[in-house]
Amino acid sequence: MNNFEWADAKSIDEAQSLMTDASAYKAGGVDLLDLMKEHIAAPKRIVNIRNLQGFDQIKEDGGVLHLGPLLTLAQIADDKTIRSKWSAIADAAANAATPQIRNMATLGGNLLQRPRCWYFRNELFPCRKKGGEICYAQQGENQYHAIFNNQLCAIVHPSALACALVAHGAKLELSGAKNQKREVLLEEFLTLPSVDLHRENSIQSGELITDIRVPTPRADAKSIYIKQGEKESFDWPIAEIAMVLTMDGETCKSASIVLGAAAPVPHRATEAEQAITGKKVDEQSAGAAAKAALATATPLALNGYKLALFENLLTRTLLQAKGNA
């Protein structure tokens, strides 16, 4: 790890005035410190935003849930308000990482963490994402990699919270220099390698995430998150699904379905949404929607198993939504 200077920010203005191109914000520090130890990041100054006041609030106001970027995953997992209507978000937080990490990791940091691709994380592989010529995963050990949009770079987006928040149509408030604020749909903020090979989102230099805004779903909506790892605990997902469904009896009125660990961004399963909307949810329609979701997948040599896995999980999740409706 490189030597660095430490700066404790007490306000947004101070945090931004301390930022230079050679600095990095640190919230929980779980990902940033890993990247530094892996020699993938080498900031000369760390600007600690962990102690900024007022950015760990949960508030429902005017049909919108406001989540502070410094909320820990543990706080999100335990909160009764979030669990009451946005249970996909609570469950995504509850099932991420380990109890120790959930107590350190923040929502803002979770959304902006870098991918876990082992070629990207290994300084000995000058992969395309780091400015090289090759995506080593495409011909290499690609069992955990993307099955969609994997032609340029085969990372999967690492954030469970992003998967659930995209399903819920969340927006981010970003604050730049001189208190300039912009609001952007999370789904549009997270970008594919075809947009920018070297980054996973469109955050601008010095910008901070200052609010995460989630629309309140209809009272009859079902919000579900499901994660499959190789082992029961302390594991990254090999597949995850977040879903917000509204039902009229047994018929699906609307569906927002997002697959995680599937693509370089949380992957909206548009074909499944279209296939299930307006249909009575049963084994046949759920299975057909799940098949439709995978129809455009382009699996690599070692991750073809994800097709059957996602198909099964998606069928089960749709049937679960029906059962609880």
Ligand X SMILES: Cc1cc2nc3c(=O)[nH]c(=O)nc-3n(C[C@H](O)[C@H](O)[C@H](O)COP(=O)(O)OP(=O)(O)OC[C@H]3O[C@@H](n4cnc5c(N)ncnc54)[C@H](O)[C@@H]3O)c2cc1C
Q: Which is nearer to ligand X, 92 or 272 (CB)?
A: 92
Q: Name the residue nearer to ligand X (CB basis): 108 or 217.
A: 108
CB 214, min distance to ligand X, A: 16
Smallest gap, in angstroms, from Cβ of residue 280 to ligand X? 34
Q: In the complex, what is the shortest distance from the CB of residue 36 to ligand X, in angstroms, rounded to a whole number?
A: 10
* Least Cβ distance, residue 258 to ligand X (angstroms): 13
DSSP string of 230-273, one letter each residue: SSSSS--EEEEEEEEEEEETTEEEEEEEEEESSSSS-EE-HHHH
Q: Which is nearer to ligand X, 97 or 117 (CB)?
A: 97
Q: Contact at 8 Å (CB) between 156 and 113?
A: no
CB atoms within 10 A of CB 301: 12
Closest CA to 94 of 79, 108, 116: 79
Nearest approach, Cβ of 5 to ligand X (angstroms)? Answer: 15
* CB closer to ligand X, 204 vs 270: 204
Q: Is 299 helix (H, G, I), strand (E, B) or coil?
A: coil
Q: How far is the CB of 104 from ligand X (least distance, A)?
A: 6
Question: Which residue in 274, 293, 292, 290 sits closest to 282, CA to CA?
Answer: 290
The residue to which tokens 């979030």 are assigned: 82
Residues ≥6 apart with Cβ < 8 Å to 105: 28, 30, 72, 73, 96, 97
Pairwise CA distance, residues 105 & 173, whole Å: 19
Any residues with CB less than 8 A from the CB of 173 and at least 6 apart, and which?
181, 182, 183, 209, 210, 211, 212, 213
Residue 268 or 322: the one with the smaller Cβ distance to ligand X is 268
Please tell me the number of Cα atoms within 13 Å of 10 on its side-chain side.
0
Whole-number minimum distance, CB 242 to ligand X, in Å?
12
Give the number of other CB atoms < 10 A from CB of residue 173: 16
- Note the residues at the interface with ligand X (CB under 6 A): 24-32, 69, 96-97, 101, 104-106, 108-110, 112-113, 158-161, 208-209, 236-237
> Cβ of residue 121: shortest distance to ligand X, in angstroms?
11
Q: Count CA within 13 A, CB hemisphere, residue 281.
A: 29
Q: Is 283 exposed, middle or buried (0-12, 13-18, 19+ CB in 10 A)?
A: exposed
Question: Cβ 112 to ligand X, closest distance in Å?
Answer: 3
Phi and psi of 324, rounded to 5°?
-90, -10
The residue number with the shortest CB distance to ligand X is 109
Q: For 251, list phi and psi in degrees, rounded to 5.
A: -100, 135
